[in-house]
Structure 1
Amino acid sequence: MMITKNKRLLGIILTVVLILMIPLIAMQFTNEVKWSFPDFIVAAVLLFGTGLTCELVIRKVKKTGYRIAACAMVLTTLVLVWLELAVGIFGTPFAGN
């Protein structure tokens, strides 16, 4: 059972790294992608936090339907925060561009 938990944690870490590689590689080929070091840190915290929260839900919530709903809410929150930081859909002081 411990091996499965460690594999999922490793999977979360690898997924975050792979997702962050996308803008890093894109920056090498185009000027359209301009991420700074803090952008990568914020993205890593958001992605890793989302992964760990979904892992917590998977471990603690027993009913499958509730697991799916809780993880969907976590992922929806990630998307809304990401969009706000990127383009400012809500117009908060944290909005990008």
Structure 2
Amino acid sequence: MMTQNKRLMGILLTVVFILFIPLVAMQFTDEVNWDLFDFVVAGVLLLVTGIVCEVVLRKVRKQDNAIALVAVILAILFLVWAELSVGIFGSPFAGS
């Protein structure tokens, strides 16, 4: 049980670390211009992805299947992130 709690804490710390990157970048350049909504959306996306990956790793018995599912989850995260950031698909989801 302690290892599982450490992994959840690791997920939270990773989300915070990733969100610090644009926060620090905003202090040095005008190229990064996030508002509170951007941080909330990114935080929710990252946190939900981390928790879903954790659930998959806990519940799926076969390691090969778990790794494949986590890879699919991460691919979905990257596609959603790319769509929200630059609108690679031009969907209304990204405001295009």
TM-score by length of 2: 0.97
> Residue 59 of structure 1: CA displacement?
0.4
Aligned residues: 96
**CA distance, structure 2, for counterparts of residue 77 and residue 91 of structure 1:** 16
2:41 alignment counterpart: 42
Aligned-residue RMSD, C-alpha? 1.0
How many percent identity over aligned positions?
62
> Residue 95 of structure 1: CA displacement?
1.5
1:24 alignment counterpart: 23
Q: Please list, as runs of the form range in 1=range in 2, the aligned pairs for 1:9-88 lying within 5 A after superposition.
A: 9-88=8-87
TM-score by length of 1: 0.96
Local SS of the residue matching 1:31 = coil
Residues 17-57 of structure 1 show CA distances to partners (whole Å, capped at 9, x for unaligned) of 00000000000000000001000000000000000000000
Which amino acid in 2 is paired with 1:28? Q
**CA distance, structure 2, for counterparts of residue 24 and residue 35 of structure 1:** 8
> Residue 94 of structure 1: CA displacement?
2.0
Q: 1:19 to 1:96 in 2, by over 3 A?
A: farther
Which amino acid in 1 is paired with 2:38? D
Q: 1:96 to 1:23 in 2, by over 3 A?
A: farther
**CA distance, structure 1, for counterparts of residue 45 and residue 9 of structure 2:** 17
Local SS of the residue matching 2:89 = coil
2:93 alignment counterpart: 94
**CA distance, structure 2, for counterparts of residue 91 and residue 30 of structure 1:** 27
Q: Which residues of structure 1 form unaligned runs of 5+?
A: none
Q: Which residues of structure 2 form unaligned runs of 5+?
A: none
